[in-house]
Amino acid sequence: MRKIMAFATLLDQGIATGNHADVERAKNAILKSASAASELVNEILIYARVSNIQLEHDVLDLQEQMRLALDDISQSGAETRAEIHLSIPPTPFKADPSQFARLMQNILSNAIKYRKPDRPPKITISTSRSDKNIILAISDDGIGFEQEFAEIIFYPFKRLHSKSKYPGSGMGLAICKSICDREGWDISVRSQPQEGTTFYISIPALEAPAPSLSESDEAKT
């Protein structure tokens, strides 16, 4: 807000003196700051809704839901020439579909955003089983971060990288954590600088016949 007020003053001065360069500079800065403020308010509202909304659970298929999630990020994936490997068999699980979609959109968007600047991102999505849980793993080969920050990245407004280089509100992973907490899932992350990042989500499995090998799916985008 202080930045908007400062450039509003510059705008007034530019108009008064006829300095078109100052007017243009102030206008652009105000629009940029207003857009960032609007995004932040929107993310805070989403965080509040996610924390309090009544969940509507359905039995879903994890393979199908991940395909839908990849469709949601298809434009940014195409723009960055992302190489995405999906290797998940048909797997039933219970979740609120809209909240799961938001969870996946945030994690997959981060995998693309925090890519290495000199190459297209590579993202691998797979599952394994641990006791009675499905472990969904989403890995990338991006810039990564020090493992010591693996917990605080889920706090609201926590950022590990420059906002000027990687725009955002700092709320995306806090929203992910809130969704997982509401669902009763565990979310964790492993990362190394310049080696990439893997998010793990532990989801209670539903009892179902094990899929045959022919049902396994591997898609490459």
The two three-digit tokens of residue 24, written as one number: 């243009």
Long-range interactions of 143-149: CB distance < 8 A, separation 24+? 143/114, 143/115, 143/116, 143/193, 143/194, 144/114, 144/191, 144/192, 144/193, 144/194, 144/195, 144/196, 144/197, 145/191, 145/193, 145/197, 146/191, 146/192, 146/193, 147/190, 147/191, 147/192
Q: Where are the domains of the chain?
A: 2-52, 58-220
Fold (topology level) of 58-220: Heat Shock Protein 90 (3.30.565)
Alpha-carbon span 89 to 219, nearest angstrom: 11
In 3-state terms, what secondary structure has residue 130?
A: strand
Q: Is the pTM of this model over 0.75?
A: no
Question: Looking at this protein, which amino acid is placed at residue 137?
Answer: A
| pLDDT tens by residue, the chain, 221 residues | 455 455 446 445 556 676 666 556 665 665 665 555 566 566 667 666 776 788 899 999 999 999 999 999 999 999 999 999 999 999 999 999 999 999 999 999 999 999 999 899 999 999 999 889 999 999 999 999 999 999 999 988 777 776 656 666 678 899 999 999 999 999 999 999 999 999 999 999 987 555 544 444 555 55
